[in-house]
């Protein structure tokens, strides 16, 4: 049985429960290729940040809050009246992004590669969304089908994800990936092709681990909006942060 560890102390800004609407993007209802319908939801435009005094921030000039474990990320998000993004939500977000021409380097859906964000090693740590890379192919902005903008869905820092597809009641993987798992089959191209990022094969035995999505500043072609990896839920790595959601 996986036991939730006691969360570290995280201070929450007094107005964190009423985060400005401008800091959240609406992801429209999405029907995945499997036929599963993911309802519309609100997602933070930026990876969660933390101020010098420890308060959570969702802002373009906030450095991503990394070096936080999976369980502590859940606790921090909940403490702010928000939630950690789920696997179904991340899949819906990635699928919607892949349907928009502006997110493809060739200017049309399926032309060139999906944008992959900060991944070329120009930086040595996760950056605020306001930082602009000198590399023209490290555009961090993704456009949703409704015109909303969201940053760092691929590259810069990975995101902890609550697995509501393969996971247990704590979002921790409890079984190997099935051949038809939507976590593996939703991406339009195979692993590490066309900018989609790396993914494992069916049968990958990650039981007891937590999912991470996206990519990080030095991930190369492993980064991508469909990138899927894992980490021990108690680990607090400098390349893994988290993204918050709230109901529409």
CATH number of the CATH domain containing 159: 3.90.1580
Q: Is residue 4 part of a domain?
A: no
The total number of structural domains in the chain stands at 1
Task: Output the pLDDT for position 16.
Answer: 43
Is 13 a residue whose pLDDT tops 80? no
Q: Is residue 47 part of a domain?
A: yes
Q: Could you write out the three-class secondary structure of the chain? A: CCCCCCCCCCCCCCCHHHCCHHHEEEECCEECCCCCEECCEEEECCCCEECCCCCEECCCCCCECCCCCHHHHHHHHHHCCCEECEHHHHHHHHHHHHCCHHHECCCCCCCCCECCCCCCCCCCCCCCCCCCCCCCCCCCEEECCCCCEEECCCCCCEEEEECCCCECCCCCECCCCCCCCHHHHCCCCCCCCCCCCCCCCCCCCCCCCEEEECCCCCCHHHCCCCCEEEECCCCCCCCEEECEEECC
Q: What is the pLDDT of residues 56-112, one digit of tens each?
A: 999 999 999 999 999 999 999 999 999 999 999 999 999 999 999 999 999 999 999
Find the domain containing 87 and state its range: 21-248
Q: Is residue 2 part of a domain?
A: no
Q: Is residue 12 part of a domain?
A: no
Q: Is residue 207 part of a domain?
A: yes
Is 6 a residue whose pLDDT tops 70? no
Q: What is the pLDDT of residues 23-52, one digit of tens each?
A: 999 999 999 999 999 999 999 999 999 988
Question: Predicted confidence band at 19 (pLDDT cuts at 50, 70, 90)?
Answer: low
Q: What is the pLDDT of residues 114-133, one digit of tens each?
A: 999 999 999 999 999 999 99
pTM of the shown model: 0.92
């Amino acid at each position: 049985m996986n036991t939730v560890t006691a969360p570290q102390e995280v201070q929450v800004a007094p107005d964190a429960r009423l985060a400005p609407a401008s800091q959240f993007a609406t992801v429209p209802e999405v029907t995945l290729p499997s036929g599963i319908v993911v309802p519309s939801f609100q997602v933070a435009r930026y990876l969660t940040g933390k101020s010098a005094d420890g308060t959570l921030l969702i802002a373009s000039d906030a450095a991503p809050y990394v070096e936080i474990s999976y369980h502590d990320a859940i606790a921090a998000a909940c403490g702010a009246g928000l939630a950690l993004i789920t696997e179904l939500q991340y899949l819906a977000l990635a699928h919607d992004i892949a349907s928009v021409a502006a997110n493809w380097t060739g200017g049309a859906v399926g032309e060139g590669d999906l944008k992959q964000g900060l991944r070329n090693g120009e930086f040595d740590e996760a950056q605020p969304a306001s930082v602009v890379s000198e590399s023209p192919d490290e555009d961090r902005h993704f456009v949703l089908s409704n015109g909303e903008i969201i940053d760092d869905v691929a590259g810069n820092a990975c995101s902890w994800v609550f697995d509501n597809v393969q996971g247990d009641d704590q979002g921790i993987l409890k079984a190997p990936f099935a051949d038809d798992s939507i976590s593996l089959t939703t991406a339009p191209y195979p692993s590490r092709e066309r900018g989609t990022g790396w993914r494992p094969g069916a049968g990958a035995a990650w039981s007891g681990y937590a999912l991470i999505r996206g990519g990080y500043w030095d991930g190369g072609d492993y980064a991508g909006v469909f990138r899927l990896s894992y980490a021990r839920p108690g680990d607090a790595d400098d390349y893994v942060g988290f993204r918050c959601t709230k109901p529409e």
